[in-house]
Structure 1
């Protein structure tokens, strides 16, 4: 029986670090190749240095290793992306095009492309934002994800390439530091709390945003990739939901463990980005098509984060 050989593009990031470990548990370390621009100190073997903007380099890795699945995670995120809009667009789109085209040419069976709640803009219902809501994002990162969703759908419809995608909310995990996203305050706040430091939040206290704990994120990703192809009705990107909370609520949750924890609010340019995003997400399609259901709420996530960071 032929075994899957998986390539993870952009494995050094917050998601890639955990996803690599989980895929190696499921498929065997020898069958999961991590790649990024540089090798992290202490990273596992079976790592390839790869510049995903280089088409020939991506093609060579796929052919040499007989890759059957690609998880394409490389991207510049929302807040960081606004510091260099054109560079963000170029990198996010070129790497995606290279992955899609190499996969088409060399019969890669499945491609995973992460989208984001950043695809949504101001002119939506922000309560239980629907799968079919209008997509007019306010950031270059969001624009690149909307374009990516449409290209994923195009490659599926025109070429039959099995591209699958989730619109991730804010991702919270203990395994790595924040990576330049607008929801990253919800990771940094835990690092400050366990060090008995105060926290200055770049969003105001009432900014409600969709979030998801890392274990749920990884499980959702793998469940989608393992789902029956015939049951998938969304070929742009699935809405996916975990929980929604604001900075004041997460601070109160942390105070259950650190009663003296202090938070101050100093909104910056990221507040404008957050204001354009949904407060909570309707993920009915994911629940219907592949039985998605989150396991973590705010209190369980806070307990787990603090236990692991300590």
Structure 2
């Protein structure tokens, strides 16, 4: 199913896949507010919320594994930027690893090939923005996790989840398509301008947690605000880095806008702050003294969190494209999470 606003053949556009999530909505709203010269075409299995449809050129309901659809995009549009958000997320990937591989890896290859073909017709490389994850890391043990304060992009890349394996492989695919694609050919294709942001645990005030591995943080708040007890599925001392959703959207836009000559890496860590589960619980209880929070670690989910770094080093992003988050831990709770979740909960009564 296709929904058009203004049909034009070979119109210059930005393509956003997986656009009907919160990151996609944020990107669409930002680009619309800027009145960007590049129109936006969105692709999602679920289409796009009605409130968003007037902000984009075209809504395509479809699958990134559909080769006919990829060919349609190639023939109808001049795509100068692809923001590839579509993915099967962490928890679902563990239950369906083969499906996750098809969606997360083959889907990414399909879009990288689209970018290559678009580059040929344009004579310019297509910008390919890819969100990766802290799940690409795999700390060998808790002693090492405690000793290494902030992990760099190239360290401890031994993921223990299918999602992490998929994301790490796709980072390497991006580097390959950018630098080495058809390297033995007599006439090599123009590469892709691949740019990747590696996210920590993301927290949103706008949407309910959906069982993700780092969702214990927002789950505590949602339960406390609604006066419900909460049993946290990780230990009190479990520590990982976090970022608020508005900063995640900001980082993607900043990297997309950065001049290519300033960039010396394909993959960049970004982060805001690092807290233990106990420190999160204490912040929740400071604001909601009656909050009932206990700790009942789930062995499997705890093992995944233990494999992630306690913190990540985002100095390359800060140095090369001036990355800086809006929300530290204090502002995240006082100005974003608590007021917005409280407001949303009030409408449920």
How big is the shift at 1:94? 1.2
Give the number of aligned pairs: 308
Asked whether the 8 Å contact 1:14–1:179 carries over to 2, the reply is no
Describe the superposition over 1:65-86 as per-residue Cα deviations: whole angstroms up to 9, x where unpaired: 4322111011122222111112
Long gaps (5+) in structure 2: 1-9, 120-124, 181-189, 344-349
Match status 1:146 vs 2:168:
yes
Match status 1:122 vs 2:144:
no
The structure 1 residue matched to 2:227, chosen from 196, 199, 206, is 196
The structure 1 residue matched to 2:107, chosen from 95, 114, 117, is 95
The structure 2 residue matched to 1:9, chosen from 17, 30, 40, is 17
User: Which SS does the other structure have where 2:198 is aligned?
Assistant: strand
RMSD: 2.2
Length-normalised TM-score, structure 1: 0.92
CA distance 1:74–1:205, shift in 2 (3 Å): same
Length-normalised TM-score, structure 2: 0.82
Q: Indicate the larger mover: 264-273 or 185-194.
A: 185-194
Asked whether the 8 Å contact 2:209–2:219 carries over to 1, the reply is yes
Asked whether the 8 Å contact 1:78–1:180 carries over to 2, the reply is no
User: Which SS does the other structure have where 1:197 is aligned?
Assistant: coil
The structure 1 residue matched to 2:256, chosen from 225, 229, 235, is 225
Asked whether the 8 Å contact 1:77–1:179 carries over to 2, the reply is no
Match status 1:281 vs 2:312:
yes
How big is the shift at 1:209? 0.5
Match status 1:301 vs 2:332:
yes
Moved over 3 A (4+): 27-30, 40-43, 123-126
Q: Which has the larger radius of gyration?
A: 2
Long gaps (5+) in structure 1: none
Asked whether the 8 Å contact 2:272–2:327 carries over to 1, the reply is yes
User: Which SS does the other structure have where 1:82 is aligned?
Assistant: helix
Distance in 1 separating the partners of 2:38 and 2:129: 20
User: Which SS does the other structure have where 1:294 is aligned?
Assistant: coil
